[in-house]
Amino acid sequence: MRHEFGIEAQAHFQEAWPNAYSIFSWLEYAISIPYPTYLITTLKENGKPNACWHSWGCFSGTGQGYYALLVLNEGGHTYANILRTREWCINLPTLDQKAQCEETIARNDMENDEIADAGFTAEPARIIHSPRIAECLVAMECRLEWHWPLFEGGSQHVFAGKIVHVALDERVCDADPQLRLEKLRTMYNLIGTLDPLSGETQPGSLGIVRLV
């Protein structure tokens, strides 16, 4: 049996934390689509590296270009850095690097070198100025093509960046998809789950993909 829902959050829904359904849509918790996580690296205005552990976005393109699309909130370092420099790098961490990724959230003041302070190593990009993370098996260098509010008056913006260079570790160049996934160990973010009938919310978690 299907249950039909409008788009408005119901009064009996329990938020996992205060204002959760203002910052994120309750539908994200009810539908529960996992997103791959990645580290967006940019440069702050003072030249310090910035690293943002992120998962809201996707990748698409044709023979004319391959693009990274990100959804970013106004006011964050990454948002401001991309608007100023018009570039960023996407680095794919593995599940084994979860603790370092969490450090990028804990150590994110303007004076922090967020790559070094998280236990990672910065390396120069080939085309752009934003640094890459040496320990990540995949790095995609991006240049901003356009950005636009997700909706009028909203605090989230969509950024479209053309991927201008890619670095792949030799360990993830195998054509066998099972071997590649086993080595990538890309973390997928399930932000949380909401039972729309009872209103009960459970915290989210991270997982990796396996072929069946």
Q: Give the pLDDT score at 95.
A: 97
Q: Give this prediction's pTM.
A: 0.94
**pLDDT class for 17, splitting at 50, 70, 90?**
confident
107 domain residue, yes or no = yes
82 domain residue, yes or no = yes
Instruction: Tell me what the mean pLDDT of segment 119-145 comes to.
Output: 98
Q: Which residues pair with 60 in a beta bridge?
A: 67
**pLDDT class for 143, splitting at 50, 70, 90?**
very high
98 domain residue, yes or no = yes
What is the domain-level CATH number for residue 58?
2.30.110.10
| Residues contacting residue 189 through CB under 8 Å, at least 6 positions apart | 34, 35, 36, 37, 55, 204, 206
43 domain residue, yes or no = yes
212 domain residue, yes or no = no
pLDDT at 23 over 90: no
Residue 101 belongs to domain spanning: 36-188
Instruction: Tell me what the mean pLDDT of segment 144-167 comes to.
Output: 96
The mean pLDDT value of the chain amounts to: 95
How do residues 80-106 score in pLDDT, each as one tens digit? 999 999 999 999 999 999 999 999 999
- Whether the CA torsion 124, 127, 128, 132 is positive or negative: it is negative
**pLDDT class for 16, splitting at 50, 70, 90?**
confident
How do residues 176-198 score in pLDDT, each as one tens digit? 999 999 999 999 999 999 999 99
**pLDDT class for 210, splitting at 50, 70, 90?**
confident
51 domain residue, yes or no = yes
Please state, in angstroms and rounded to a whole number, the distance separating the CA atoms of residues 161 and 89. Answer: 10
21 domain residue, yes or no = no
Domains in the chain, number: 1
Q: Give the pLDDT score at 62.
A: 97
pLDDT at 77 over 90: yes
25 domain residue, yes or no = no
